[in-house]
């Protein structure tokens, strides 16, 4: 039985490592998996924390992959390159502010009144479809246009702030954090590659902050002896296993996406979102 639970963790971690970075909504996929293959070896509270920990592992993959790009202290960089790296971090912080403020204000409310509501699944499906349609339409329009910004070095402070505001849309389940930022960047005339890279960089403080906050809340509840917050050895083992898998898969996925955007548009992801949204509606309309 426990081996089957580990296989479920393997699948969840793989899906997390892939969908966290592609503009297809990790939330939509997690909801499907949670209903089709529930983890019976974990309590509800631990499973909720588990999802944030493997998300933290995915963030570590971004740091490792882009370490040279993001390290302002590298002895291999010239003085000008170090200044450029610091400017990139400042741009990231500007973009993070809107999402951090709105996220802190609305995160618990959205979780209680949207994610856990009777209509939560249908909202996720609707957002998958709506954003899928937007991707298809915007990509077809952009085939006729030229991007005014092709690298983060060309970003203005206004670009960073506006993309940060677009990222706030991802608080609605099913929209996708990377999907919102990449789509917002393209609307502003920023290339796919620059939008995707900036999306990865903004994910570091945003997702790390949220994940650590959720883990901290769980730890405090466990130490206070709140019912349902004690964890077992099997749960800890699955947590470590899932984190390692999510980290490795994320490394592969980030490399794939950065290579993909140099050659292709995101239209395929748009169609994928539409199909997934329809499947979610059909599944929960028929079987749940």
- pLDDT above 70: percentage of residues in the chain: 93
Could you list the residue range(s) of the whole structural domain that residue 197 is in?
A: 2-286
Q: Are 210 and 52 in contact (CB under 8 A)?
A: yes
Residue 251: predicted pLDDT? 93
Kindly report the pTM of this predicted structure: 0.86
How many Å apart are CA 175 and CA 124, to the nearest integer?
7
Residue 232: predicted pLDDT? 85
Q: Are 277 and 121 in contact (CB under 8 A)?
A: no
Provide DSSP, 20-40: TTTTT-HHHHHHHHHHHS--T
Does position 141 have pLDDT exceeding 90, yes or no?
no
Backbone angles phi, psi at 92, to 5 degrees: -65, -45
Q: Are 212 and 164 in contact (CB under 8 A)?
A: no
Sign of the C-alpha dihedral computed for residues 258, 261, 262 and 264 taken in this order: positive
Residue 174: predicted pLDDT? 80
Of the two residues 285 and 178, the one the predictor is more confident about is 178
Instruction: List, for residues 153-169, the tens digit of each pLDDT value.
Output: 999 999 999 999 998 88
Instruction: List, for residues 188-241, the tens digit of each pLDDT value.
Output: 999 888 988 999 899 898 888 878 888 888 888 888 878 778 788 888 999 999
Instruction: List, for residues 102-120, the tens digit of each pLDDT value.
Output: 777 776 676 666 666 666 7
How many Å apart are CA 48 and CA 35, to the nearest integer?
14
Please name the residues in contact with 231: beta carbons below 8 A apart, sequence gap of 6 or more.
Answer: 43, 46, 222
Smallest Cα–Cα separation from 229: which of 243, 215, 240? 215
- If one counts the domains in the chain, the total is 1
- pLDDT above 90: percentage of residues in the chain: 33
Does position 15 have pLDDT exceeding 80, yes or no?
yes
Sign of the C-alpha dihedral computed for residues 40, 46, 52 and 58 taken in this order: negative
Q: What's the chain's average pLDDT? A: 86
């Amino acid at each position: 039985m426990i081996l089957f639970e580990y296989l479920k963790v393997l699948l969840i971690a793989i899906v997390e490592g892939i969908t966290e970075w592609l503009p297809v909504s990790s939330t939509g996929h997690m909801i499907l998996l949670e209903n089709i293959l529930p983890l019976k070896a974990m309590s509800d509270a631990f499973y909720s924390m588990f999802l944030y920990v493997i998300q933290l592992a995915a963030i570590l993959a971004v740091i490792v992959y882009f370490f040279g790009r993001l390290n302002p202290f590298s002895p291999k960089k010239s003085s000008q390159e170090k200044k450029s790296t610091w400017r990139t971090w400042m741009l990231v912080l500007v973009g993070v502010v809107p999402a951090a403020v709105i996220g802190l204000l609305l995160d618990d409310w959205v979780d209680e009144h949207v994610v856990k509501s009777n209509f939560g699944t249908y909202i996720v499906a609707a957002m998958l479809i709506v954003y899928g349609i937007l991707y298809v339409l915007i990509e077809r329009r952009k085939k006729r246009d030229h991007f005014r910004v092709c690298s983060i070095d060309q970003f203005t402070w206004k670009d960073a702030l506006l993309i940060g505001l677009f990222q706030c849309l991802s608080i609605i389940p099913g929209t996708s954090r990377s999907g919102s930022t990449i789509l917002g960047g393209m609307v502003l005339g920023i290339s796919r590659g620059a939008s995707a890279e900036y999306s990865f960089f903004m994910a570091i403080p945003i997702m790390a902050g949220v994940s650590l906050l959720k883990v901290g809340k769980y730890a405090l509840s466990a130490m206070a002896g709140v019912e349902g917050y004690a964890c077992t050895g099997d749960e800890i083992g699955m947590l470590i296993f899932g984190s390692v898998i999510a980290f490795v898969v994320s490394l592969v996925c980030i490399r794939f996406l950065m290579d993909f955007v140099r050659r292709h548009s995101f239209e395929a992801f748009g169609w994928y979102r539409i199909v997934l949204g329809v499947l979610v509606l059909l599944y929960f309309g028929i079987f749940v």
